[in-house]
Structure 1
Amino acid sequence: MKKSILGFDQEKALKMGLELKDLIILRAVKDLIESNALIKREIDGQEFYWIKTRVILEAYPMLDIKTSASVRRRLKKLVDRGLLTYKLVKENGTFTFYNKTNLLDKLFVYNERLDLACKKVTDSKENKGNNKEAGDCDSNIRTNNNNKKHNNKKNKYKKDFAREVINYLNLALKTKYRENSKESLNKIGALVEEGFTLEDFKTVINKKKKDWSGTPYEKYLRPSTLFRKSNFEEYLNQVETKKKTVYKSVYKEADLSDWDD
């Protein structure tokens, strides 16, 4: 059985009684929350995000789900499984707010560090400096094969990891950068080798989006700049300027008359 599907651990998902439709909706909610494109609200000391069921219906017509009520039933199932938290807000209408949980992050396999995803294979050094004995050649062949398998697995992981980063970038910035761009794969792969995690990439994307959007620097919201090795750590540790958000004004300005809850 393949380890992951849509980035989630397939074996764990099956044990939780989740169907493919559940995972598609869960991935959509996860990506929306992490895109920083949603209305956010603090409720009982915790952050929640307004999820519109219509967005999910329009984004995934192949789900063959016809109504918002059906989407809400699937979301309730994900809440019951402990993957999402939920709050209902009644202010000039009824609105559903969600957030992801630690259990969801554990279900998402690409949150693991590269050194946890790949087993290290090292050359045997037992006979270093000694004369080769019978069987040494066979041992070397096995070691080389193991190294080759390890490198193939490592490269595949880095490619999958890079695709996750590019998908997140495209979702956050509404861009269409190619997942298989050699330049992007190389830049992201080099940063992965340095030990940076998926959350680090998302943090950089979110910080620079907030910092550069609507400015002359907006044109630099691209992989070649954001993932440049000489810049990345500086972007990651950049101190954000906190901005107060007045949610009442957000509701007044938004036309909610034809939005699903």
Structure 2
Amino acid sequence: MKLLLNESPLLVLPTLAVKLGLNEAIVLQQLHFRLLQSPLKYDGFTWYHHTYTKWREQFPFWSEKTISRAFLSLERKRIIVSSQAYNAMKVNKTKWYRIDYDVLSHILERQIDLPTETVCEEQKEQFGCNEETKMADSVKKERNKEKQQKTNLEIITGIIHYLNAKAHKEFRVNNQATKRLINARLQEGYTVEDFKKVIDVKVSQWLNNKEMRSYLRPSTLFSPTNFENYLNEARDIPSPVKRTIQPIVLDYNAGEEDE
């Protein structure tokens, strides 16, 4: 007698199916699995691209129309974010997808963080509670990862805007090499204030120097060795002495002496 599960099954969480609909839950779970393996990183997010024809290879029991309805339903709920901006050619209409895990969490009211005992009992004979727990954990990790990416992008944006304003430059925030440099320094424990100190000290030294002003760039300022050296330079510069201006006190009782 052949086993029923003689190929990789499509898994679906009952919580998702109840909240979103069965078709939407299946599509969302499959997209999440694909995103975990996707190398496509743009604008701080992980993406996966597919046409409806290609999706049908993964869902052979559905028509393309059924698949498109499920995706569009999730897009309208803003759980799935789609874009065609990353296609190499404008004539290419392939959709790129990512999951907004914050929106998903809000819709599910955080019921997906841990599977309940009832869900585990119902799914135990089908694919095991441990598998469901792993899926829930992966959703949670991915959501935390996206939150961290958003935070880092805000920090990077602030640093680049500060550099552009001080050095009269127009460096792009979404430059991958620049983001890697800043993220690496942040992981080493440096703060936004440290970046500003480095920018300030080198701008004061190089901005009016024709030979050196071209080095007011992320690749020079934020490289591992240079950044530490420049930061130490900034720390060695004594802070200007603040002079307290005493207010003038007028004595209206004083007048000219009588002759």
TM range (shorter): 0.3 to 0.5
The structure whose RCO (Cα within 8 Å, separation 6+) is larger is 1
TM-score, L = length of structure 2: 0.40
